[in-house]
Chains A and B, each alone.
Chain A
Amino acid sequence: MNTNNEIRKAGAVLQDEFLQVWGNPSGWRALTIVNHTTVGIRFMVTGGIFFLIGGLIAMLMRTQLALPEQDIIEPKLYDQLFTMHGTVMMFLFAVPVLEGLAMYLIPKMIGARDLVFPRLSAFGYWCYLFGSLILMSSLVLGIAPAAGWFMYTPLTNDVYSPGPNVDFWLLGVTFIEISAVSAGIELTVSILRTRTSGMALLHMPLLCWYILIMALMIVFGFPPLILGSILLELERAAGMPFFDVARGGDPILWQHLFWLFGHPEVYIIFLPAAGIVSTLLPVFSRQPIVGYRWIVLAIISTGFISFGLWVHHMFTIGIPQLAQAFFSMASMLVAIPTGIQLFAWLATLWTGRPVYHVPMLWLVGFLFIFMIGGLTGVMLALVPFNWQVHDTHFVVAHLHYVMVGGMLFPLIAGLYYWLPHFSGRMPSDKLARWGFWMTFVGFNTTFLVMHLTGLLGMPRRVYTYPAGLGWELPNSVSSMGGFIMAMGISMVLLDIVLHFRFGRPAGANPWQADTLEWATDTPPQPYNFISLPDCPMRHPMWDSPDLQATIADGRHGLSEIDHGRRETWGSDPVSGAIREIIHLPGNSWLPFFSALALSGLCISLLIRTYSMALIAVIASLVLLLRWSWKNGAFLEADSDSAAKSGYPQLHSRTFDGPGLWGMVVTLLADGALFLSILFGWLYLRIVAPNWQAPETVPLAWQPLLISGVLLTIATFWHHFIVRRLREGRDDHLQGQLWSIAAVGLAHCCALIWAWSSSSLVTTQTAHDAVIAVILMYQLFHSGLAVIMTALQAMRVAYGYVGKGAPYEIAVVKPWWLYTTAVYWLSFLTVILLPIAWRSA
């Protein structure tokens, strides 16, 4: 007994010490918090507020459409409302709220203390918040985008959409996407590299698989839209004609870029929601999920196949029938992995002993609604049917069955499930059940009927309709259903708000769940776990019910805190074996101010004040470089990491730390952007109806060749010094880094020389405009490679980098390799291919 008391006391002392290192500040300094629990909650609360705004917009539209020939809302405002409803729900609610949930849960589920790049999480949140506020301000000012949430050209070019409306969308959404991509990178590396000891891939909670694939889909799926938005903004602001047929562009290119993002986006939203289902069903069925491996197979397959469907949104634009058949087939085949998951869920219910608590109600609602959405999806994959119902309310109904059924219902199930984790209290069962049934009945009343409205021929996005077409009754029913649903959602909200005050205390692990997040305190402490347990199993809380107590008592790994560092395990991505200790950065103003500077850039581009934009660019660059300087080899860290016998090194002493993984995943996103540019170049070249290429290549190949050779030399040299560092040699390191930076600078100068001596007129043809974009892309990467290498040289002088701490130079290496690969690929595509083409 005495021994137990002593252990408890020691645990309490440890808790105080951990709080001193990990505690969150209050007041203004709360803006510096980078902890994943706080940042995740911020994402979810902000996303929730945008959901309510999006819902209010929907109510306004349903009021307008309730009866024929109403003029409550004028057409121009209606256009803004339907555009903003889609935009808010997709970009400001669905993705951020799921990312927030993932950020909150993932470290706790994998037994880590935080996400691997906490400052990046905070930066992502501020970008999201500022971007959203910029976008929403347009609605308040009455100049919101009004061209539909997928912004098709030519409606969105400066001829048909003059004024800043479309610019708000392009700049605001791009800014928000920075946040999404940063979260994608963060989550990918965290799941792969920070799992607790022994948690091999086959032991990962299923939600982690779903989030891993979602994160990778964000990494590959968002760049095409980022590129599209940049190109359209360049066309609007600088007159570069990417989508203008008269000058060699093609508006269909926008559709490709948008849907290359847009269709995977559906699965980016669906997969985490399905992950919630796969997490909750076994808990409430009181038995492990049936077919773990099959579900993992389904998740990975869904992620891939969803990238091969995008053209099914474009079946009516005149694509050859055979090409349509490819996409139609892929659209039907994606039902296979979804079917696998559905059968696994049903089998789990069938073989388990289900208890129908409130989250289960939402899960059953999900199964019903999503199945209908899936079936109408297969109908829409059939080309002739698609032609018939294109741009009608049938498509709107299908979309809502997929999105609300496939995302909102599981999300609310998850919200109820993890509510005791957020607050330590239980919701009201009665209010929760009322909330569910009103939402379920309201939703189906609204959207089941809307299929019929569409089949009767009512087009989407019309602000009113004449009487006598048979559309009156279904529209009235849909509007009534919409208000019933709104009441249901209000009850859910009321329940959540009230439970913070009146909910009964939840106690430990109230649902008898199996995963590690329930081994934290509820609500959790900022550090999650005082000690990090071994976890070579799928159901740690079922296998070791006393885990919460033993973790809190500090009986597992990495429970030392007297060094004052924030630490978590760095592990092998496959086996989960411990490789190093990851030293995490603490609270900082840098993410907030960096995002603020970038929002200044966004606003100055919006109002087209380019001198202010230049100042904002410089401010952003200074802040981001300052961040990289401070975040580097951790000046405060000393070499005591091996103090406890058997502990591995700090990650800054290794060549394979999380920063390298972060860099590689960043380059995957970057590569997706570059491939999108190449796709645009080849697409316009092959398909644009009025492509105009000059007789000779407008860039001289000699300076380009010199520039490329210099870049290649710099890259090989950098590669060479990393190899020497691996051998433990760092002689003349600083001088070599300065020399590499100088060679890189000479490469940039040669490239600028090639451009300035060219005959490119970027506003005249799409041909010249695309080449200019490729040159800008190259210069950005080459310039950054030079700056990063120069910074490394300076850090060598300060003693922060060297053979004792080689980590940072290894992180920069892939950037050089990527920049060189991009250069030669661009040279091949822009210079050599057209020559070969012409001579063929």
Chain B
Amino acid sequence: MWPREVYHPIQLAFGLTVWIVWFIVKYGALAFFCEQVPPPIEQGAFTWINTTLLIGSVAVTGLLLFWANNCWRGARAGNNQADAETNLFIAWLGAGINLLGAVVTLSQGLMSLLLPPCL
């Protein structure tokens, strides 16, 4: 039996909401730290700001992938409730939305490997 959460309609927005919140935090933190404590330009991309952003992005990606997997397994397992068809529809969409959130989070996060933060 899967946790009921994977069939909850919140799944239709959850994964990408997590991404957008992380994106706001990341963009805000970048602006703040570049203004307050900018690392030397010569360090290139390998600065503490980029490292922190990358670790954060990987962590959020991991969470989103975990949730995507939960939803996917929930969608495959089926359930016996009256609204089974609707529940499976929601779980399937939840898997897709969490997965897409993970793809966007990681793609943006990997940029930290390439560019200096405050230039």
CB of B66, distance to nearest CB on chain A (Å): 19
Verify if A686 is at the interface (C-beta below 8 Å from B). yes
Residues of A near B108 (CB, < 8 A) are 325-326, 329-330
Query: Are A323 and B30 in contact, with the CB atoms below 8 A?
Result: yes
Verify if B115 is at the interface (C-beta below 8 Å from A). yes
CB of A577, distance to nearest CB on chain B (Å): 9
Residues of B near A202 (CB, < 8 A) are 85-86, 89
Bound form: Cα–Cα A524–B112 in Å: 57
- Closest A residue to B119 by beta carbon equals A321
Q: Chain B: how many interface residues by the 8 Å CB criterion?
A: 39
Verify if A307 is at the interface (C-beta below 8 Å from B). yes
Verify if B6 is at the interface (C-beta below 8 Å from A). no
Residues of B near A336 (CB, < 8 A) are 100, 103
Most chain A C-beta atoms within 10 Å of own C-beta, residue among B17, B19, B100: B100
Bound form: Cα–Cα A323–B118 in Å: 9
Query: Are B19 and A322 in contact, with the CB atoms below 8 A?
Result: no
Query: Are A322 and B50 in contact, with the CB atoms below 8 A?
Result: yes
Verify if A558 is at the interface (C-beta below 8 Å from B). no
Residues of A near B92 (CB, < 8 A) are 293
Bound form: Cα–Cα A297–B101 in Å: 12
- Closest A residue to B19 by beta carbon equals A304
Verify if A586 is at the interface (C-beta below 8 Å from B). no
Query: Are B90 and A333 in contact, with the CB atoms below 8 A?
Result: no
Verify if B42 is at the interface (C-beta below 8 Å from A). no
Residues of A near B26 (CB, < 8 A) are 326
- Closest A residue to B7 by beta carbon equals A574
Q: Is the interface of A mostly helix, strand, loop or mixed?
A: helix
Residues of A near B96 (CB, < 8 A) are 293-294, 297, 301
- Closest A residue to B87 by beta carbon equals A574
B92-112 Cβ-contact flags toward A at 8 Å (1 or 0): 110011001001100110011
Bound form: Cα–Cα A329–B110 in Å: 10
A325 and B115 in contact, given A201-B89, A686-B32 (Cβ under 8 angstroms): yes
CB of A199, distance to nearest CB on chain B (Å): 11
- Closest B residue to A304 by beta carbon equals B16
Residues of A near B23 (CB, < 8 A) are 308, 326, 330
Query: Are B112 and A322 in contact, with the CB atoms below 8 A?
Result: yes
CB contact between A573 and one of B9, B20, B117 (< 8 Å): that residue: B9
- Closest A residue to B15 by beta carbon equals A304
- Closest A residue to B104 by beta carbon equals A333
Verify if B77 is at the interface (C-beta below 8 Å from A). no
Query: Are B93 and A333 in contact, with the CB atoms below 8 A?
Result: no
Verify if B64 is at the interface (C-beta below 8 Å from A). no
Residues of B near A573 (CB, < 8 A) are 9
Query: Are B31 and A686 in contact, with the CB atoms below 8 A?
Result: yes
Residues of B near A574 (CB, < 8 A) are 9, 83, 86, 90
A296 and B93 in contact, given A322-B116, A323-B31, A575-B86 (Cβ under 8 angstroms): yes
CB contact between A687 and one of B12, B31, B83, B104 (< 8 Å): that residue: B31
- Closest A residue to B112 by beta carbon equals A322
Verify if B114 is at the interface (C-beta below 8 Å from A). yes
Query: Are B103 and A200 in contact, with the CB atoms below 8 A?
Result: no
Verify if B62 is at the interface (C-beta below 8 Å from A). no
A201 and B90 in contact, given A307-B20, A687-B35 (Cβ under 8 angstroms): yes
Residues of A near B30 (CB, < 8 A) are 320, 322-323
Bound form: Cα–Cα A308–B31 in Å: 16
Please provide the chain A residues from 274 to 313 with a CB less than 8 Å away from any CB of chain B in the complex: 293-294, 296-297, 300-301, 304-305, 307-308
Verify if B28 is at the interface (C-beta below 8 Å from A). yes
Verify if B34 is at the interface (C-beta below 8 Å from A). yes
CB of B78, distance to nearest CB on chain A (Å): 14
Verify if A682 is at the interface (C-beta below 8 Å from B). yes
Residues of A near B27 (CB, < 8 A) are 323, 326
CB contact between B86 and one of A200, A293, A337 (< 8 Å): that residue: A200
CB contact between A325 and one of B9, B34, B97, B111 (< 8 Å): that residue: B111
Bound form: Cα–Cα A325–B119 in Å: 12
B64-93 Cβ-contact flags toward A at 8 Å (1 or 0): 000000000000000000010110011011
Verify if B13 is at the interface (C-beta below 8 Å from A). yes
CB contact between B34 and one of A301, A320, A333 (< 8 Å): that residue: A320
Residues of B near A297 (CB, < 8 A) are 93, 96-97, 100
Bound form: Cα–Cα A827–B117 in Å: 32
Query: Are B86 and A329 in contact, with the CB atoms below 8 A?
Result: no
Residues of A near B12 (CB, < 8 A) are 300
Query: Are A200 and B85 in contact, with the CB atoms below 8 A?
Result: yes
A300 and B117 in contact, given A326-B23, A574-B83 (Cβ under 8 angstroms): no
Q: Interface of B with A (CB < 8 Å)?
A: 9, 12-13, 16-17, 19-20, 23, 26-28, 30-32, 34-35, 50, 83, 85-86, 89-90, 92-93, 96-97, 100, 103-104, 107-108, 111-112, 114-119
Sample 21 A-B pairs with CB under 8 A, ordered by A number.
Answer: A200-B89, A201-B9, A202-B85, A202-B86, A296-B93, A300-B97, A301-B97, A304-B16, A304-B17, A308-B19, A308-B20, A320-B30, A320-B118, A323-B27, A325-B111, A330-B23, A330-B108, A336-B103, A574-B90, A575-B86, A686-B32
